[in-house]
Amino acid sequence: MKNLCVVAMLAATLAGGTLESASAQSASKTGIKNVVLVHGAFADGSGWEAVAKILEQDGYTVSVAQPPETSYAEDIKYTKAAVDATDGPVVLVGHSYGGSIITEAGNDPKVSALVYIAATSPPLRSMTVRAVRRSNRPCRKPPRRSRRTATATGG
């Protein structure tokens, strides 16, 4: 059922906002035949496998970007490379953290639409974007807080 909802949302976007089914006919109507799928954090592109198969059967050329999650900049770079490898206009689809990635990679003139599926689409100067950009730095453990313990001395 989850895959059906994702495909329905993509179909509506690819069909120019109408609720037609995603078929080879609607692909030719909009001229958009390319879709790049971007996974969320702590995942890989295999999660898009069922959606990619459905879209391919309906006449779309589907690429699944594989951002390495080593840094925000690298993730954007890998997604831009997937966009560059397409021939013609493309729809970028991001899930979870992939939404932040497609927000940045979507500035390419080949990108016709951005689709956010349970994804973040943060304003440019938001805390989320700053936190993601800071994620390039090594993680530090937060300082341990001492716990006050109750004493057994009556009172």
pLDDT at 17 over 90: no
Question: What would the two tokens of residue 111 be?
Answer: 């990108």
> Is the residue at 153 inside a domain?
no
pLDDT on residue 4: 43
Please state, rounded to an integer, the average pLDDT across all residues of the chain: 75
Q: What is the pLDDT of residue 120?
A: 74
Tell whether 66 is covered by a domain: yes
Instruction: Judge whether 32 lies within some domain.
Output: no
pLDDT tens per residue across span 67-97 = 999 999 999 999 999 999 999 999 999 999 9
Longest CA–CA separation in the chain, Å: 80
For residue 61, what are the domain limits?
A: 18-25+42-118
**Pairing between β-strand 34-38 and β-strand 61-65 as defined by DSSP bridges:** parallel
CB 95 within 8 A of CB 42: no
Q: Which whole number is the average pLDDT over 54-61?
A: 95
Residue 126 in any domain: the answer is: no
Q: Does 8 fall in a domain?
A: no
In 3D space, the residue among 15, 37, 136 whose CA is nearest the CA of residue 86 turns out to be 37
Quick count: other Cβ atoms within 10 Å of Cβ 89?
Answer: 15
How many structural domains does the chain have? 1
8 Å CB contact between 37 and 64 = yes
Cα separation, 117 vs 56, in Å, equals 19
Residue 96 lies in a domain: yes
In this structure, is residue 130 part of a structural domain? no
